[in-house]
């Protein structure tokens, strides 16, 4: 069975979550222009260039969706911290292994429930 987190471990993980949140928000602002529509004018953009632009746009949109998901997970983890629920599996209620939280501080499930 996993042991509960110490206050210093929780504070360290909270700091990491906040840093990740700031980084993801900065990337989100930086990547906002990639969501713009691709120009359709065939005179200014060749067919292959347009296909490449569409592919880049789709990849940027997929990355934006991942960032949104990661930001939501971080926000939920921070909420669990303020409610003293952090470090406990949201499904079975057992402690989440500290090593798992070191790898993914936003993890809400123990390894058994995540499987």
Percentage of the chain modeled with pLDDT above 90: 61
pLDDT of residue 81: 95
Q: Which of 4-8, 12-16, 71-75 has the lowest mean pLDDT?
A: 4-8
Interval 48-93: pLDDT, tens: 677 787 888 888 889 989 999 999 999 999 999 999 999 999 999 9
Q: How confident is the model at residue 1 (pLDDT cuts 50, 70, 90)?
A: very low
Q: Residue 66, Cβ neighbours under 10 Å: how many?
A: 11
Contact yes or no for 75/66 (Cβ under 8 A):
no
């Amino acid at each position: 069975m996993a042991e509960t987190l110490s206050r210093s471990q929780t504070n360290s993980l909270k700091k990491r979550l906040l840093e990740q949140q700031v980084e993801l928000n900065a990337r989100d602002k930086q990547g906002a222009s990639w969501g713009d529509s691709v120009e359709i004018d065939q005179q200014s953009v060749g067919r292959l260039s347009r296909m490449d632009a569409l592919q880049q746009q789709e990849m940027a949109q997929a990355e934006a969706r991942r960032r949104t998901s990661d930001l939501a997970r971080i926000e939920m983890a921070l909420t669990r911290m303020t409610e003293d629920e952090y470090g406990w599996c949201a499904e079975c209620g057992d402690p989440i292994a500290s090593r798992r939280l070191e790898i993914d501080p936003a993890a809400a499930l123990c390894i058994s429930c995540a499987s």
